[in-house]
Amino acid sequence: MHSTKIGATLIARLVNTLTAALVILLGTSAARAADAGRGKVIFQTCAACHSEKADAIGPNLRGVYGRKAGSLEDFRYSNAMKRANFVWDEDNLRAYLKDPQAKVKGNRMPFAGLTSDMDIDDVIAYLKGYK
């Protein structure tokens, strides 16, 4: 009887472990992929200032993904952005889109940031292909 109880306990632990692993796997595979099409729609708000016009308020963001911050020759950046020593990759874009002033203290962009992680992921997905 004692060995039957130990066997049942081991089986119960195995079932619990497998169930937990299954929940983790299903939860991971159900994660939402970023939607560049939705990001393009959200980006239209940004495009009001970030256009390809010579007199645009903000720098042109075409090709921003992978570009050094504050590096376009034809735009007058704030001193803070000129001193920013990073490349616009996923992590830097995510931090900036969430809180521009925290990422680059003293930048001139009058934008509080996006509050939705989904929106941020989608805008980044769009910017990756915006060449």
pLDDT tens digits, residue range 31-85?
789 999 999 999 999 999 999 998 999 999 999 999 999 999 999 999 999 999 9
User: Of 15 and 127, which is predicted with more confidence?
Assistant: 127
* pTM of this structure: 0.75
Mean pLDDT of 90-118: 96
Q: What is the pLDDT of residue 31?
A: 73
Exposure string over 66-85, b if 16+ CB within 10 A, otherwise e? eeebbebeeeebeebbeebe
CATH class assigned to 36-129: mainly alpha
Mean pLDDT of 90-114: 96
User: Of 93 and 22, which is predicted with more confidence?
Assistant: 93
Q: Give, as one character, the DSSP assignment of residue 61.
A: -
User: Of 37 and 18, which is predicted with more confidence?
Assistant: 37
Exposure string over 29-52, b if 16+ CB within 10 A, otherwise e? eeeeebebebbbebbeebeeebbe
Q: What is the pLDDT of residue 29?
A: 40
